[in-house]
A and B are shown apart, each in its own frame.
Chain A
């Protein structure tokens, strides 16, 4: 294998050789590699092109912070995942990866012309340049800009994988399995607390896996991590979740975790979900998310081969990869020494450690180790530029005098330049939880201050420096968290040693030559291609607030979320505006921490399992007969039953005439049903509905109207009194749940004086509406124990008996205008009774009908449908149902609302009928009603069509409409405005068919 791979050591398995391709070229790596480490082992640094300027980019980091090496992994045509960080893509045999955002190839990219044009592409360029004409943006400017910018391409096929979801609870959730997180989990778990420990990486251990000489309790750090994880794994109440990112901190310690289950496998099991979304409710949260090393700002800091010192150390110690052969190390913190010592020991030539700090400002074991290794150290040294084409070739160094003046010193050839600008604590989760952040001057970074949730930040994510201190910090917090959940814990103690990174750092730009104006590009935000020049321009254009600068330049936006760019942008802006960083402030950290797939959010909610599909007892019967369904809420209701090649229009005409001329049957099971029971049941309904219920005799029913407080119609339905203290309330199909909730609300909070209870019985009863002049004839064949004659069972009467030997609650009601019954039976018998009625009706030519015919039949009678003919702003009077109001009642919901002057004023829209002058024209529902045709735009609109159908019974079109002062306009000719020409209509009564109601009372 490659000379860049070390002979031994690290976490890779050298016995498992894997083959993969990147941009069509075959390479080899080992199990345990990431795509990034495997490419680096093959000498490949160039992994992508930048977002805006198409600059060649190499890998910068080794983890979630990676802004450059964004790749597409192409498992197959439907599993084609763009914008993955190569640092997080685990290698598997046969992996196919492609670079993005380059054409025709990564090494020769036509789009790189943008880099030459970059003086003309400053921050805000698109906003300023493509403003005019406004209409041109979508068609002329946006498409090519989108094509030239942007990242990977999303797949177009449906995702074939499954995504799981899981709720979980724990005493202590520990986020991050580095030294502090492991110590916290151990402390909490040994006390008996239920612990979930999650970590975004394939292997838990965090920074411990990147250490060479560090020890804990006498063991090498990685061995200690292994042993600790084994201890934790053996505990019954501990759940370890590797490859799991805590991406969002939601209220009340609800944490979103995204677990990647099969992404790393060459041959995923078809039974395994690809990812799992965990919703964890934790009593206590320990945030141990670590810190991310910062790049340094100097011209050319984005060249392939320029990377973070800690990342180079990770590649060496964890993956056994030398990132180059000759390194220059730009130091702003002691992390540079640790990297230099390890790299030198691995045979990488260290050309220089260019330490920007003054000689008297640096001391400690890191410096001592570097000196002992004989490494060349330059103090007060700055990087003036990195040069090279597709890879760094040389570094120009300068010297910083005590007065701040910079002078050039030397140019060093190298193939990697490592940056250690200090560490930025990853405070994302703490910030998402609404915790406060405070700027720590000594650390030069924002660290968690007051918490808003039951959470504790531990280790380097709160600025703790060093291995021993992080272990102790984690252990103390883990013990405290467990104790807070009732599991008294003491913090374990550890003895640890390591070459620590220290607390130094360089926020903002490295010192540059005074003459270097305009400076060449020094990138602050690699992912969004934001340079120091862009930030300076934003300042010159008057942006002061960091929030405005962020939006204007896009620094730290999108998936970067300031991981590598945040503090550098603040430091640069602070220096430019002579403010301290703490005064500049901080932008908000938004979730997710790293991108989360749509699949993980959707979970099981796909296709038929997106929502419950509620089916009625006639469902299978209808399917077998080719019935057509429509969705009403979650219900599947039969819309119509086509015979042969009938279209909907023909089927509905036939179904309507079947009901009018003989008899039809309709599945009304979906209507909401609520049983109201108690000695105050009638009084409760008196207060709840507008009608008078005291006067309703047992065995009788009445049409009820429900208002909201504001006096507008909310729901309606027939309510039957089964006994003095028992009512059977029906609601609209869609309104069942909200009416039930509103009743329970009033019973529990407003009218606690009433002795009344409610029970939902929607699904207890199956309901078949049998409607038409022969309805009685059909039921007579099946019903026993009930006298169906008009005198014994008049319109709106209720009786109990049996049908087919099944207990029957029979309502004589009509929503069709014909003689009608509603057959209520216990739901398990619904299918049997539906089929029995259908059989018994054959001699009368019984017609099963659907919701569409039901709508036509009721519209012919002027019966409203709440939510279709009302829109939440109609009073009972507007809807022509004011007759239902109990005039003598002292109160009911909405009574005072109805007294508002606006609700009694003239000019309100009232429900009327419309007849088109041309009877063949069927109006469009929602179309506007106007007084005169061909008005100048905008028309003066005085109403709108609410319902419109062809009526087979009347041989013409009919419509209902809400029209201003409609009832005073009877007989007037108005117009319905349509694009193809205004349609003349006559205002008529909304009752089109049998206005005397003779057909019901038979």
Chain B
């Protein structure tokens, strides 16, 4: 199956934008008890603090709501992750839904990353207000995105596939004046 041709939405690489490879993603929802069980299975402690992402190797858990986390792993881990989570969660009420293909990820990086994102995101992205490790569901103009700061000058965006072209083209529009 891995040999089959995937057609993710096309995203142009730029000086300040790097598409990320396909990944495994689950929308996980459940109580703190379920989160604790999922943490053990995932090997990543799910944050109990709002809007924080925790990472271990290629796996990450992003707090998106009091009962909602976005779980991310390598593309090859889809079955492994699902199985281990399902076993660990057992009868604990929860919802685990595969959304690997629902969205695409890319990174906006460099000295102008914050400026570019503020052209369409109304949140305060200054490092003191949006530190490394912070993540949230927000908007970029008319598109919903998940925004995650992975380094002072690096943000990861998770965007529903049909909105990716809109978000990246508007970022490119905002970047035109930086090329001068």
> What separation, in Å, do the CA atoms of A910 and B174 have in the docked complex?
53
Note all chain B residues with C-beta closer than 8 A to A616: 162
Are B95 and A167 neighbours in the complex by a CB distance under 8 Å?
no
B165 near A: Cβ within 8 Å?
A: yes
6 of the cross-chain contacts (CB-CB < 8 Å) are A162-B176, A169-B124, A273-B177, A609-B166, A635-B162, A826-B100
> What separation, in Å, do the CA atoms of A763 and B98 have in the docked complex?
11
B74 near A: Cβ within 8 Å?
A: no
Residue of A617, A762, A806 near B4 (CB, 8 A) is A806
Are A828 and B1 neighbours in the complex by a CB distance under 8 Å?
no
B96 near A: Cβ within 8 Å?
A: yes
> What separation, in Å, do the CA atoms of A609 and B99 have in the docked complex?
26
A604 near B: Cβ within 8 Å?
A: yes
Residue of A166, A611, A831 near B119 (CB, 8 A) is A166
> What separation, in Å, do the CA atoms of A635 and B161 have in the docked complex?
12
> What separation, in Å, do the CA atoms of A755 and B142 have in the docked complex?
32
Pick out which of these stretches binds chain A: B22-30, B37-45, B46-54: B22-30
Are A675 and B7 neighbours in the complex by a CB distance under 8 Å?
no
In chain A, positions 672-690 with a C-beta closer than 8 Å to chain B are 675, 677-679
B63 shortest CB reach to chain A, Å: 15
Tally A residues with Cβ within 8 Å of B: 53
Are B126 and A169 neighbours in the complex by a CB distance under 8 Å?
yes
Given A755-B93, A806-B1, A830-B7, 16 more A-B residue pairs with CB atoms under 8 Å apart are A165-B119, A169-B126, A269-B180, A281-B122, A281-B124, A604-B174, A608-B169, A609-B170, A612-B163, A612-B166, A675-B95, A675-B97, A756-B95, A806-B4, A807-B1, A829-B7
Are A169 and B29 neighbours in the complex by a CB distance under 8 Å?
no
| Contact A759 to B29, CB < 8 A, known contacts A167-B119, A615-B165 | yes
In chain A, positions 584-638 with a C-beta closer than 8 Å to chain B are 604-605, 608-609, 611-617, 634-635
Note all chain B residues with C-beta closer than 8 A to A756: 95
A2 near B: Cβ within 8 Å?
A: no
B161 shortest CB reach to chain A, Å: 5
A760 near B: Cβ within 8 Å?
A: yes
B158 shortest CB reach to chain A, Å: 12
| Contact A614 to B177, CB < 8 A, known contacts A166-B119, A167-B119, A194-B126 | no
> What separation, in Å, do the CA atoms of A828 and B1 have in the docked complex?
12
A694 near B: Cβ within 8 Å?
A: no
Note all chain B residues with C-beta closer than 8 A to A831: 7
Nearest A-chain residue to B167, judged by Cβ: A612
Nearest B-chain residue to A828, judged by Cβ: B6
B160 near A: Cβ within 8 Å?
A: yes
Are A162 and B101 neighbours in the complex by a CB distance under 8 Å?
no
> What separation, in Å, do the CA atoms of A765 and B102 have in the docked complex?
7
Note all chain B residues with C-beta closer than 8 A to A608: 169
Are A757 and B30 neighbours in the complex by a CB distance under 8 Å?
yes
> What separation, in Å, do the CA atoms of A757 and B180 have in the docked complex?
49
A196 shortest CB reach to chain B, Å: 12
Note all chain A residues with C-beta closer than 8 A to B100: 764, 826
> What separation, in Å, do the CA atoms of A569 and B30 have in the docked complex?
65
Q: Mark B98-119, 1 if CB is under 8 A from A, else 0.
A: 1111110000000000010011
Residue of A614, A804, A827 near B102 (CB, 8 A) is A827
B67 near A: Cβ within 8 Å?
A: yes
| Contact A832 to B141, CB < 8 A, known contacts A271-B176, A271-B179 | no
B5 near A: Cβ within 8 Å?
A: yes
A272 near B: Cβ within 8 Å?
A: yes
Nearest B-chain residue to A679, judged by Cβ: B93
Note all chain B residues with C-beta closer than 8 A to A272: 177, 180
Nearest B-chain residue to A670, judged by Cβ: B162
A989 near B: Cβ within 8 Å?
A: no
B14 near A: Cβ within 8 Å?
A: no
A256 shortest CB reach to chain B, Å: 13
Are A805 and B4 neighbours in the complex by a CB distance under 8 Å?
yes
B134 shortest CB reach to chain A, Å: 15
> What separation, in Å, do the CA atoms of A832 and B22 have in the docked complex?
16
Are A612 and B143 neighbours in the complex by a CB distance under 8 Å?
yes
A153 near B: Cβ within 8 Å?
A: no
B71 shortest CB reach to chain A, Å: 12
Note all chain B residues with C-beta closer than 8 A to A167: 118-123
> What separation, in Å, do the CA atoms of A821 and B7 have in the docked complex?
23
10 tightest A-B CB contacts, nearest first: A757-B95, A614-B162, A677-B95, A612-B166, A169-B124, A757-B29, A828-B6, A759-B97, A831-B7, A827-B101
B163 shortest CB reach to chain A, Å: 5
| Contact A605 to B141, CB < 8 A, known contacts A612-B163, A759-B27 | yes
Residue of A269, A759, A830 near B99 (CB, 8 A) is A759
Are A759 and B162 neighbours in the complex by a CB distance under 8 Å?
no
| Central interface residue in B1, B102, B179, by most chain A CB within 10 Å | B102
Note all chain B residues with C-beta closer than 8 A to A617: 7
B153 near A: Cβ within 8 Å?
A: no
Are A609 and B126 neighbours in the complex by a CB distance under 8 Å?
no
Note all chain B residues with C-beta closer than 8 A to A614: 162-163
A105 near B: Cβ within 8 Å?
A: no
> What separation, in Å, do the CA atoms of A617 and B170 have in the docked complex?
22
Nearest A-chain residue to B173, judged by Cβ: A604
Nearest A-chain residue to B171, judged by Cβ: A604
Note all chain A residues with C-beta closer than 8 A to B103: 763
Note all chain B residues with C-beta closer than 8 A to A279: 122
Note all chain A residues with C-beta closer than 8 A to B166: 609, 611-613
In chain A, positions 764-815 with a C-beta closer than 8 Å to chain B are 764-765, 804-807
> What separation, in Å, do the CA atoms of A923 and B50 have in the docked complex?
57
Are B173 and A757 neighbours in the complex by a CB distance under 8 Å?
no
> What separation, in Å, do the CA atoms of A904 and B68 have in the docked complex?
43
| Contact A761 to B102, CB < 8 A, known contacts A164-B177, A755-B93 | yes
A358 near B: Cβ within 8 Å?
A: no
Are A764 and B177 neighbours in the complex by a CB distance under 8 Å?
no
A302 shortest CB reach to chain B, Å: 42
> What separation, in Å, do the CA atoms of A999 and B146 have in the docked complex?
46
Are A763 and B118 neighbours in the complex by a CB distance under 8 Å?
no
Note all chain B residues with C-beta closer than 8 A to A373: none
Are B96 and A828 neighbours in the complex by a CB distance under 8 Å?
no
Note all chain B residues with C-beta closer than 8 A to A166: 115, 118-119
Note all chain A residues with C-beta closer than 8 A to B162: 612, 614-616, 634-635, 763
Note all chain A residues with C-beta closer than 8 A to B126: 169, 194
B9 shortest CB reach to chain A, Å: 8
> What separation, in Å, do the CA atoms of A612 and B143 have in the docked complex?
7
B39 shortest CB reach to chain A, Å: 18
In chain A, positions 66-124 with a C-beta closer than 8 Å to chain B are none
B149 shortest CB reach to chain A, Å: 15
> What separation, in Å, do the CA atoms of A279 and B93 have in the docked complex?
43
Note all chain B residues with C-beta closer than 8 A to A604: 119-120, 141, 170, 173-174
A168 near B: Cβ within 8 Å?
A: yes
Nearest A-chain residue to B1, judged by Cβ: A805
> What separation, in Å, do the CA atoms of A1002 and B30 have in the docked complex?
42
| Contact A832 to B5, CB < 8 A, known contacts A165-B119, A613-B166, A757-B30 | yes
Note all chain B residues with C-beta closer than 8 A to A805: 1, 4
> What separation, in Å, do the CA atoms of A826 and B7 have in the docked complex?
10
Nearest A-chain residue to B100, judged by Cβ: A826
Note all chain B residues with C-beta closer than 8 A to A675: 95, 97
Are B102 and A763 neighbours in the complex by a CB distance under 8 Å?
yes
Note all chain B residues with C-beta closer than 8 A to A764: 97-102
> What separation, in Å, do the CA atoms of A617 and B99 have in the docked complex?
16
B159 shortest CB reach to chain A, Å: 10
Note all chain B residues with C-beta closer than 8 A to A168: 118
Note all chain B residues with C-beta closer than 8 A to A759: 27, 29, 95, 97, 99
Note all chain A residues with C-beta closer than 8 A to B67: 757
Nearest A-chain residue to B22, judged by Cβ: A828
Nearest A-chain residue to B9, judged by Cβ: A615
Q: Mark B129-158, 1 if CB is under 8 A from A, else 0.
A: 100000000000111000000000000000
> What separation, in Å, do the CA atoms of A984 and B68 have in the docked complex?
58
> What separation, in Å, do the CA atoms of A281 and B121 have in the docked complex?
12
Note all chain A residues with C-beta closer than 8 A to B95: 675, 677-678, 756-759
Note all chain B residues with C-beta closer than 8 A to A605: 141-142
Are A677 and B8 neighbours in the complex by a CB distance under 8 Å?
no
